[in-house]
Amino acid sequence: MRMQSMQFKARAHGALADARLQSVLKRFGSGFVDKRAAAREAYGIEAFEALRDASAAIRDRGLANLDAWLLCFEEQATRSGSTVLWAKDADEIRRHVLEICARHGVKKAIKSKSMVSEEAGLNEALEAAGVTPVETDLGEYIIQLAKEPPSHIIAPAIHKDKEQVSDLFAEHHHRPRLTDTEALTREAREMLRGHFQSADLGISGGNFLVAETGSVAIVTNEGNGRMVTTLPKVHIAITGIEKVIPTLEDLSTLNRVLPRSATGQEIENYFTIVTGPRREGDLDGPEHMYVILVDAGRTRLVGSDMQQMLRCIRCGACMNHCPVFQTVGGHAYGWVYPGPMGSVLTPVYNGIENALDLPQAATLCGACEVACPVKIPLPELLRKLRERQMQAGLRPWRERAGFRLWAFAAKRPRLYALATRLGVRALRLMGGAKGRISRLPLGAGWTLGRDMPSPEGRTFRELYAARRGK
């Protein structure tokens, strides 16, 4: 997937001006948020918070001895008949997959959702090598027809409305145009059925890697993951090295918090644990199984002040709760991972100089941290990235000069008090009789789409002193 994170501001402005997208995002609104809240309450609020604590501890335990758990996973997976391969970057992911395709004479690959394959631009590489990739998750299938990247990690086509899907299906399926949601879903199933039956290769991601058994755990709601991992003669699971966890008991804990945080479900529709290829006596399963363990920037986080980001279990809760994501959608972020998680992952994976605006693409309201099932302190990580940008001189000179001016005044209380008194009085005058500022000097972004309430003309200190005097 081509990285366009440097164009976040322009892409965000485009999203805000897209009336159709804004209508879709408005309908998306707080749907997942409300469902998560209901699931949390049904589980028991105190019990759910204890579950979050336990989940964070499991992820930290795996990361504390990441190398040992990965070697344990490799040993157990190999013992079960899988072939474990290591990929340091996207190029090696593509090379491994294409070599496997050549070895087994693969002509068609069916895919379950895999964000790491998006990182690697795998579909394009398969097509260039003469292998037809077919996305089988409904959302991924829709955006593949549209030749677009996903805009959400669990709901890839959240930016499309039903009319757009109807048009896509009519164009690509050469059938009469349908508008009923159930009929469109059935049509997709009918079109995908032949691909399931004729594919040589199945490609999946992996939600978790279980070290003690060498298993790959896959969570889906549509059942396509089961088809991808059992019908073709070859199965490749591609996943990041940070996904390893020590035990099946840990997997049980994490699988209670994942669906509740992602979609508000008590349990996902399909929970698959794959341990090696088909054995003698098995009724289904691939003849060959490969697991590709991917670094691609992840080891740079180990032992750093960003390590907590590796806890991420890709549930999407942070973006569901993020007011910025809800306003501009996922494509504005310009790479695989949108929302708060993407605003951290994209700069640390690809270089902060290649994603200058993403650490700024958050209000730091804290909703993402509150929702995160493994308690990643996303606002804190975003602030650290902002500090690095300032220290490296990567922010615009006007912004750096403004912060220096503010710091100069803030270190001098009398000067700061005078400046704030003058400032609030000036803003009060600008608000006029209506008490609203329609255009804010040096802060046009704040008033581009809304008016800013003007202060009453006194600072907090003045108001507090007056209240104490009473």
| Helix, strand, coil percentages for the chain (3-state, nearest 5) | 55, 10, 30
What pLDDT was estimated at residue 27? 82
Total domains in the fold of the chain: 2
Whether the predicted pLDDT of 13 surpasses 80 = yes
> Does residue 290 share a domain with residue 418?
no
Q: DSSP assignment of 159-211, as one string? A: T--HHHHHHHHHHHH-S-----HHHHHHHHHHHHHHHHHH-SEEEE--SEEET
- pLDDT over 90 (residue 440): no
Average pLDDT (406-418) is 94
Task: Looking at the structure, tell me whether residues 295 and 444 fall in a common domain.
Answer: no
Phi, psi of 172 (to 5 degrees): -95, -25
Q: Does 104 map to a domain?
A: yes
Instruction: Check whether residue 73 and residue 210 sit in a common domain.
Output: yes
Per-residue pLDDT band at 444 (split at 50, 70, 90)? confident
Do 261 and 403 lie in one domain? The reply is no
Instruction: Tell me the CATH number at 172.
Output: 3.40.50.10420
Q: Which residues contact 247 (CB under 8 A, 6 or more apart)?
A: 210, 211, 212
Domain end, chosen from 299, 317, 348, is at 299
Which residue, of 283, 299, 315, is where some domain finishes?
A: 299
pLDDT in tens, 235-287: 999 999 999 999 999 999 999 999 999 999 999 999 999 999 999 999 899 99
**Residues 10, 18 contacting (CB under 8 angstroms):** no
Q: For the whole model, what pTM was predicted?
A: 0.92
95 within some domain: yes
Handedness of CA 270, 273, 276, 278 (dihedral sign): negative
Q: Which of 279, 299, 319 is the last residue of a domain?
A: 299
Q: Are residues 290 and 404 in the same domain?
A: no
Q: Are residues 284 and 143 in the same domain?
A: yes
- Convert the pLDDT of each residue in 355-411 to its tens digit: 999 999 999 999 999 999 999 999 999 999 999 999 999 999 988 998 999 999 999
- Please compute the mean of the pLDDT values over residues 56-72 and round it to a whole number: 98
Cα separation, 78 vs 72, in Å, equals 10
Residue 216 lies in a domain: yes
Q: Is residue 107 part of a domain?
A: yes
Domain, as residue range, for 431: 398-469
On whether residue 48 sits in a domain, the answer given is no
- In a domain? residue 406: yes
* Closest C-alpha among 237, 275, 263, 245 to residue 113: 237
In this predicted model, what pLDDT tens digit does every residue of 129-184 receive, in sequence order? 999 999 999 999 999 999 999 999 999 999 999 999 999 999 999 999 999 999 99
**Same domain as 410, residue 286:** no
